[in-house]
Structure 1
């Protein structure tokens, strides 16, 4: 298969499997100037699929950095109303949203934490309606990523510069099952396997999970009505979409106040254009009571102080260490990929769809059921080839779920 054929398959995947654009539907694409040629191909595929209108928002890393370096201090606590209104209209029109990421992991390194924190909080408040739509699968949405020079250099620093982007393209194609046969058919088979794993976990009805590994000893209680899900979801119109491409996870929500112990990260977390690494979180009755980091310590503190809910966990996700992305031994410095190479946990908001009837509950009702609500949702990687996970059944029986990083 030629490179151009792989590109065409990737664009088709994004349109037909990721966002699953329907005839007559509006598609909004958010991306960067590093993706122009590929984005044009996606737009063409979207119209071929029957899209009524495709709108593209291009951002640029250089100008994004210029904002943080030069804008007046009081501007970071504001957020453009028109951005929120554009997404609100998309939700009203039952449109689809696609993110095409190519961000530089070090884009905002050196920007004062106070600016990043103020910007995050302002965006979180302005985009509440959008966040509700995404967290409750009210619209089809998907995130994919393609190489940029800066990102490829970060991933493959030891390769000659002229080979870095090509190497990252090759790696990404493998993660999204492009290379042999029909990528759309390959994804259909892949999702069947993930659904089978989720069904198996849902049948167990575990009350707790116990994680142990070097630097980790964590117990997570699960609500009685928890649901294990995969990266495949459905809108109220019964349109299936895949939010993350690639995806290797099955995930659910914890009981908000039922997390105790400590957990350490196993891969760097890229947060707001900066890296947080070598960190350890300690929990008591769900809340983070201690957070330490060897790199990005101050940013970690701001991340878990964004609001009250950011001090709690909203998601736990299981990914075997032998997953294809992990087996590649590539550190992507991009959560979309790194979280699909490792068991991971998210601080911040829980997905209401992981709780029976959760999508019909108000924020107050979610909180009353022990489901975390927050303006944040940040995944970080905790899995390794040394992690064991035990599950506690309703009758108190303990059985292995993971041994040495893989399904027991």
Structure 2
């Protein structure tokens, strides 16, 4: 699939992402968890080799195969689904970084499994994400992830393997001699957008497209983030809003695969911050169940915009990492129901405890599900004082 040179460039790109995502520099001897699907083994080997050369201590961990997942979620009892091996908490607490390589062999193998069983396992393991988030806030941890093309991904996206790979190569700038240098240019351009947005005193945002009319309240002490190295690729500019101010209708015209289920045409109606009505052209029952996973599952955890001038992604890729960064003709807006991102807090990260999160309207959930709208849209900011300003139109930020 990839040449040795392409794999090495992909590995170096992931190192750029991992290093950029952490607020303090890595040191020799740091422990980096390398988590990968079996089909991503060629890239895992290239990343492992690179980490060793840099003096890191890579810890390779292969994810469950599709067959193993079906056994675990399909046959596992509640005790098995929620069992946590001794030492996992301590292990996560000692990590300095995580690189995740996503290469699913199947996207539909869990379609007949009760989503509540998958959710129960996720809730039981949420503490691991909480540990990583807390360590990230103190600068001790960073993470990044990417996808590796597989026949299942290509088929689900309606692309040939060559077409799918071409999207990956273009989006990650692997066709450049020095992908990291190109990423630094995108990073610099994104910094200008974020600085502009963060300098606006926004009361609320209104997103309008053919099927969407949604009001989102950024909330107090928030900052816009994006192109942080966390995802390869990543072109989105986002924040975690005050979930309590969400009102109106959001429509995701882009399909989505989640937990083995295909959904399309998701329509959410929000009142007083809660998704009180869920609809979908396909997979409506699954959507409804997902939004009852826990108390925060039917609230907004993220609001994001992608500038079409940044992103080279022009096709549906059947994977959230790429689809939430879709560029195309009109860029994209996406929201996530479920967990918020604590790093969008504009204050001292180390002081953002559970009580302050609740006070500021940061949402908490084991769910984080990105739903993408690629329609032509206008995003208007109402500033404190009443002035209205169009910040995004026809797929582009209006900062220039």
In the superposition, the TM-score normalised over structure 1's length comes to 0.87
User: In the alignment, which residue of structure 1 is the partner of 2:358?
Assistant: 367
Give how far 1:323 is off: 4.3
Is 1:285 the equivalent of 2:276? Answer: no
User: In the alignment, which residue of structure 2 is the partner of 1:160?
Assistant: none
SS in 2 for 1:191: helix
Cα RMSD (Å) of the superposition? 2.2
Q: Which runs of 5+ in 1 are unaligned?
A: 158-163, 233-241
Give how far 1:287 is off: 0.6
In structure 2, how many angstroms separate the alpha carbons of the residues matched to 1:17 and 1:23? 17
State which of 209, 224, 227 in structure 2 corresponds to 1:213.
209
In structure 2, how many angstroms separate the alpha carbons of the residues matched to 1:322 and 1:66? 44
SS in 2 for 1:28: strand
Q: Which runs of 5+ in 2 are unaligned?
A: 21-25, 327-331
Could you list the per-position Cα deviations for residues 206-242 of structure 1 after superposition, in whole angstroms to 9, with x for gaps in the alignment?
A: 111101111111111121311111131xxxxxxxxx1
Matches within 5 A, 1:199-348: 199-232=195-228, 242-326=229-313, 328=314, 330-341=315-326, 342-348=332-338
State which of 41, 46, 57 in structure 1 corresponds to 2:46.
41
In structure 2, how many angstroms separate the alpha carbons of the residues matched to 1:260 and 1:207? 14
Q: Name the CA shift for 1:192/1:266 in 2 (closer, same or farther; >3 Å).
A: same
User: In the alignment, which residue of structure 2 is the partner of 1:15?
Assistant: 15
Contact 2:32 2:58 in 1 (8 A): yes
User: In the alignment, which residue of structure 1 is the partner of 2:175?
Assistant: 179
User: In the alignment, which residue of structure 2 is the partner of 1:81?
Assistant: 84
SS in 2 for 1:294: coil
User: In the alignment, which residue of structure 2 is the partner of 1:395?
Assistant: 385
In structure 2, how many angstroms separate the alpha carbons of the residues matched to 1:296 and 1:216? 19
Contact 1:128 1:375 in 2 (8 A): no
Give how far 1:276 is off: 1.5
In structure 2, how many angstroms separate the alpha carbons of the residues matched to 1:279 and 1:339? 15
Contact 2:214 2:249 in 1 (8 A): yes
Could you list the per-position Cα deviations for residues 287-328 of structure 1 after superposition, in whole angstroms to 9, with x for gaps in the alignment?
A: 1110011111111111111111111101101112454344x2
SS in 1 for 2:297: helix
Q: Name the CA shift for 1:185/1:376 in 2 (closer, same or farther; >3 Å).
A: same
Could you list the per-position Cα deviations for residues 363-382 of structure 1 after superposition, in whole angstroms to 9, with x for gaps in the alignment?
A: 23211222211122111102
User: In the alignment, which residue of structure 2 is the partner of 1:110?
Assistant: 111
User: In the alignment, which residue of structure 2 is the partner of 1:134?
Assistant: 133
State which of 25, 30, 34 in structure 1 corresponds to 2:30.
25
In the superposition, the TM-score normalised over structure 2's length comes to 0.89
In structure 2, how many angstroms separate the alpha carbons of the residues matched to 1:305 and 1:7? 41
In structure 2, how many angstroms separate the alpha carbons of the residues matched to 1:209 and 1:135? 29
SS in 2 for 1:81: coil
Q: Name the CA shift for 1:136/1:333 in 2 (closer, same or farther; >3 Å).
A: farther
